[in-house]
Amino acid sequence: MRKIIVTEFITLDGVVEAPGGNETPHPHGGWQFKYNHPEGGKYKVDEIAAVDALLLGKTTYELFAGYWPSQTGGGFADRINQYPKYVVSRSLQRAEWNNCHILRDVAKDVAALKKTEGGNILVYGSATLVKALLHHDLIDELRLMLYPVSIGGGLRLFDDSRELKRFELKHSQAFDNGVLILEYRPIP
């Protein structure tokens, strides 16, 4: 069975939105780029090299599809453009980026996707999708790059749903710029 691996940039106060600074109108956008680190870049390249498909929410898909198709080279751009991409959306009519497939139902379609042949599937960002995946217990690994900054509000993965979710730490790593990599597995 394939694994669903979620990867997120996250602040100390739990915000996962707009690390690039242009995705939302947040007044503190761009926080992630202030903490660039060679080991962090290597981690992200290794992360994408270890999977063979992407699972994205509609908003992340639209942002990625507006940028990545014109990028080439490196350990990242070629892979992200080549991999199968599964976009979960009830409203998206067409996904024109290379090798894209639209899924309509998180619980049914993603569970079926996990049962197909192939390697692991990586979820970038896609906070609304990730909340649904958490709710339906479809995440096999949660990877957080925790940044030593608080931005006072924004989109969060863990809101007031009152659902108890437990995780065990699989791996951790600290960079000298204060960024932590935390890899968790859900505990059923």
Q: How far apart are the first and last CA of the chain?
A: 17
| Distance in angstroms (rounded) separating the CA atoms of residues 83 and 121 | 10
| Distance in angstroms (rounded) separating the CA atoms of residues 53 and 159 | 28
pTM here? 0.94
pLDDT above 60 (res 18): no
DSSP, collapsed to helix, strand or coil, labels residue 83 as: coil
The phi, psi pair for 72, rounded to 5°, reads -140, 165
- Say which residues have a Cβ less than 8 Å from residue 178's Cβ, sequence separation at least 6: 35, 147, 148
pLDDT (0 to 100) of residue 23: 64
Percentage of the chain with pLDDT > 70?
96
- For 43-94, what is each residue's pLDDT tens digit? 999 999 999 999 999 999 998 999 999 999 878 899 999 999 999 999 999 9
- Say which residues have a Cβ less than 8 Å from residue 165's Cβ, sequence separation at least 6: 134, 158, 186
| Distance in angstroms (rounded) separating the CA atoms of residues 156 and 170 | 22
Q: What residue type is 11 in one-letter code?
A: T
Are residues 183 and 141 in contact, defined by beta-carbon separation less than 8 angstroms? yes
Tokens of 153: 């509000």
The phi, psi pair for 64, rounded to 5°, reads -65, -45
Please give the full DSSP string across 31-75, using - where no structure is assigned: TGGGG--HHHHHHHHHHHHT-SEEEEEHHHHHHHHTTGGG---TT
pLDDT above 70 (res 19): no
H-helix or E-strand spanning residue 145? strand 141-147
DSSP, collapsed to helix, strand or coil, labels residue 26 as: coil
- For 115-147, what is each residue's pLDDT tens digit? 999 999 999 989 999 999 999 999 999 999 999
